[in-house]
Structure formats: C-alpha cells, structure tokens
Structure 1
Amino acid sequence: MKLTVYLSGEIHTDWRDEIARGIAEKDLQVTLTSPNTDHASSDDCGDEILGTEATPFWKDHKAAKINALRTRKLISDADIVVVRFGDKYKQWNAAFDAGYAAALGKSLIVQHDPALTHPLKEVDAAAMAVCETPQQIVEILSYISRN
C-alpha cells in the first residue's frame, strides 16, 4: 500500500529523520512531506519574496500566509497526518495543523511525551493513535501497510 504522510510539528529534533530511517529499513511505500523546517527561511519568506516589512506583525503575517499555501496543499494531499509536540516550545502551529487535518477528515497520529497528555487532551481525542516515540509511528505505518 502506498501512503503519503505529512509530518507536522516541532523542528528542533531529528524525529522526522528517525521516521524516514524506519520507513527505509522496513522498505515501506511511504512518501513523507512536511512544512518548511528551516526556521529562518520560514520566518523570512514573506520579506524575501514580497518585500521587507517595518513591523514584526506584518512580517509574520505575510510569512504565515505563504507557509499556509504549502501546509494546506500537503495536508490536503496526505493520507495520514502525523503531528509531534515537543516539550521545549509551545507548538501552536502544530495544534492548528492537527485541527485542520481533523476538519478535513484526515487520519491523524499524534506524538508527544506523556507529560503533555492533559494540555493536549482535545488534540489526542481527535487522533486515531497517540504515540510517544517516532518508532511507534513507524510501526503503525508498517502495520497498516501490510497486504
């Protein structure tokens, strides 16, 4: 079974690489997509493409809209959306992606530390699976990919 999986969430660890390695090791037919994970280029794309803004609000506003073009397309095209919440920063954008995916009726897998269970209870309730590790995500993808 061929799957397209969108990987949303924190950008400060190598969790996406761990999933990619696990998929390769199991020889799964899974295509991974994600938002722009280069923080600087994601933050600066509005200024770089449309011109510099004088205030942070408008700089962020333009960048968020340009990034949303990518995010909406890739989430819409995904068979499964994985959203990872790290413990270092609040990932409001990841929560938004989870809600958007749920609104589209996409299958959702959430990954986070058990310490975040309470603050993420609504997001977890929308998910088909809640995991603690990237390896568990690979195992789920392997299980559902079996013929």
Structure 2
Amino acid sequence: MTLHIYLSGEIHTDWRDQIIAGAADLDVVFSGPVTDHAASDDCGVAIMGAEAQKFWHDHKGAKLNAIRTRHGIETADIVVVRFGDQYKQWNAAFDAGYAAAMGKSLIVMHGPDHQHALKEVDAAALAVVETPQQVVDVLTYVLHGSLPDRQG
C-alpha cells in the first residue's frame, strides 16, 4: 500500500529532507507546501498583481498557497505537522486543525517546550513525536508492523 504523506509546518530547518531520506525504502509519496519563503510570501502579487497594502499582499498569497495546501491535505493519507522553535507557526496550527477536521491521520512533531501551547493540537493527533526519525519509525510501523532496531 502506498501512503501519501503531506509534510506541513516550519520551513527553516531540514526536517523534511531527514524524513524523506529516512523513508527512502518505504512505499510513500511526499508532498508539502512551497518551502521557498520569498516565493510563498510573494506568489499572489507576482502572479495576480501588486497591492499597495500589506494586508492585501498577504491575502493574495495566502489564498494562492491554500490551493496547494488544501489539495495536499485532502489527498494525503497522513499529515505530518512540524512546529519549530524559532517562530510561531499559525499556518501549521491551521493545517493541523484542517487535517483533523477532515479525519486525516495526523502526526504532530515538536519539542517539549511546546507541549502546553499545543495540547489541543496534540490531542487531535494520532502520534506526537519530537524527531524526524520518530516520524520515519511511525511510517515504518504503519506500513510493515515492525519496530525500530536500536540495538548496537
């Protein structure tokens, strides 16, 4: 069975690359948002025209990005949402809520410092992890029913 995985969340670290590399031998297909920060911020005005007010600049970009995000979440079997340490990712929280509302299997990844702030998001998740390797281990278990071999 091929699993379609949508990788949502912070774009400032290489967590996506770590998961993709770790899952190279699994029957999975990954998708995610545009991770080029400037392109994501400016896509609306670059394609549909400039805006004098920052609100409308951001509004155009958010709506255009939502086309990709909605499709990715709606077609995913599993949604992984990463909350990083550096910024508050309101969009990641929105994606987690959207995925939960759609009944998607949700894996949330964040450090212990976010446990309290994300308690409602964590409660909606089927797995809460701290590392990309743990995401790979979850996917391996789901696909093969095997536990990680950490001996040695």
Query: Could you say which residue in structure 1 is the equivalent of 2:5?
Result: 5
| Runs of 5+ unmatched residues, structure 2 | 146-152
Normalised to the residue count of structure 2, the TM-score between the two structures is: 0.94
Measured after TM superposition, the shift of residue 11 of structure 1 is 0.2
Task: Let me know the Cα RMSD of the aligned residues.
Answer: 0.7
Measured after TM superposition, the shift of residue 125 of structure 1 is 0.1
Deviations 1:66-108 (A, max 9, x none): 0001000110000000000001000000000000000000000
| Runs of 5+ unmatched residues, structure 1 | none
Query: Could you say which residue in structure 2 is the equivalent of 1:35?
Result: 33
Q: Which of 129, 141, 144 lines up with 1:143 in the alignment?
A: 141
- What SS does the aligned partner of 1:81 have? strand
Corresponding residue pairs, total: 145
1: CA distance, partners of 2:44 / 2:56 = 9
Query: Could you say which residue in structure 2 is the equivalent of 1:67?
Result: 65
- What SS does the aligned partner of 2:6 have? strand
Q: Which of 99, 104, 107 lines up with 1:106 in the alignment?
A: 104
- What SS does the aligned partner of 1:8 have? strand
Structure 1: 4+ residue segments shifted above 3 A: none
1:64-103 matches, within 5 Å, as: 64-103=62-101
1: CA distance, partners of 2:33 / 2:72 = 8
